[in-house]
Amino acid sequence: MLINYPRSIILVMLLAANLHSQANGVIRVGLLSLDNPLSLTVTVIEGNYKLLAGRQSIVLLKDDNILINRAGEKILVSTEMSNNILADSVVIQSAEKACYFSIRNNNRAAEPREYTGNLIVKSDIESLLAINEVDNDMYLAGVVQSEAGVKGNIEYFKTQAVLARTYLFMNIKRHTLDGYHVCDRTHCQAYNGKSESKTINQAVHATRGQVLVNADSLLVFTPFHSNCGGQTESSGNVWLTRMPHISGVTDPYCTSSNNARWTKKINRKDWISYLRNNGYRHNDNDILDFEQLNRKRYYSAGSFSYPLTRLREDWNLKSSFFSVSLDDSTVILNGKGYGHGVGLCQEGARVMTERGFKMREIIDFYFDGLLIINIDDVKPSLEISSAF
């Protein structure tokens, strides 16, 4: 019997199938942080690989180097065996799970980064495009190390792993038109290569498939930041979109951490000039001092008010949680925290785990009403599809 499903239902079914396949498969990550390379050196660090370029297939062993140069719309691949191959793309394919390689942009001074899985390189617009095809758990371990560092116990890293996995599947189709799922920059999640931490790897394995959802089993946005300065921020005060699971909490756990306090001094004339350029009409009787004991949305001086998030961006401040005081020639900003302040506070969460709190308790502290379920049980929606 032929059933005519509405198009929306078909789309939801396809989304469900896509989430399931990605949860059990590999992620394609665009290595955009290589910064538009024209020449790459790839080195086999461990294990054996197979190089596929054009119609040629070459076995690569430990310590072998491959030079890849952009040649117009094609790429030129050179090996230590004097093989020079002109091809549309090159695939460096791992022969076993323990394999990993390094990749270096020859046009930059940065150190090479190490990756597991496969590497695909092709010519892109005015540069080479490198894509790491990697098991999603290995990818997530790399994300947790890049975003959360290596200091912490397993409960802290389990918390970060669940947040990272939730964000991944919220954005799994962000770069579909580019030929990969996500990139390695912070707007997708920082990914600087393979994890070197056994604890992080164990945390990702222990939470395999687990994501955060609301009461309707829909994936939710679960941001995090370095330090909230003692109070997290409501999502609506930063991104103008109120999310019921992110309302802001008083956080006593991060206030003694490294990024809990900061100070910045600004020339008084520069400060007043900046305010004037943004609509402020200066009056000598105006009080420019500003106190922020609890998080506010706007800085105020006389009848003038201005978004604190804009001040943070324009003055490159560590956070928007700061007070303002003045002396004869200087404006002094005394600030708290580091980052946007929304969602999970990393330094607070780390201290909570040191005091014996578990992953579930930490998530419940920073977020309201969320459930932890397996990615296979997530309910797809047209709203989520638009976020992809």
Task: Return the pLDDT at 68.
Answer: 96
Task: Give the single-character DSSP code of 178.
Answer: G
Given a cut of 90, is residue 204 above it in pLDDT?
A: yes
**CA–CA dist 313, 319 (Å, integer):** 9
Task: Return the pLDDT at 380.
Answer: 80
Task: Return the pLDDT at 23.
Answer: 54
Given a cut of 60, is residue 5 above it in pLDDT?
A: no
Q: What is the DSSP string of 285-300?
A: T----B--SS--SEEE
Task: Return the pLDDT at 236.
Answer: 85
- 144, containing H or E segment: helix 136-148
Question: What is the tens place of the pLDDT at every residue in 254-273?
Answer: 999 989 999 999 999 999 99
Q: What are phi and psi of 69, to 5 degrees?
A: -120, 145
CA angle 366, 368, 370 (to 5 degrees): 105
Mean of per-residue pLDDT scores for the chain: 90
Mean pLDDT of 176-190: 95
Q: Of the candidates 156, 161, 355, which has an alpha carbon nearest to the alpha carbon of residue 256?
A: 355
Q: Of the candidates 274, 156, 137, which has an alpha carbon nearest to the alpha carbon of residue 194?
A: 137
pTM of the shown model: 0.88
Task: Return the pLDDT at 226.
Answer: 96
**CA–CA dist 350, 153 (Å, integer):** 8
Task: Return the pLDDT at 217.
Answer: 95
Task: Return the pLDDT at 386.
Answer: 32
CA 92, 95, 97, 99 torsion-angle sign: negative
Mean pLDDT of 44-60: 93
Q: What percent of the chain has pLDDT over 70?
A: 92
Question: What is the tens place of the pLDDT at every residue in 272-324?
Answer: 999 999 999 988 778 899 999 999 999 999 889 999 999 999 999 999 999 99
Question: What is the tens place of the pLDDT at every residue in 339-372?
Answer: 999 999 999 999 999 999 999 999 999 999 999 9
Question: What is the tens place of the pLDDT at every residue in 13-40?
Answer: 444 445 544 555 899 999 999 999 999 9
Contacts of 354 (CB under 8 A, 6+ apart): 153
Task: Give the single-character DSSP code of 33.
Answer: G
Task: Return the pLDDT at 75.
Answer: 94
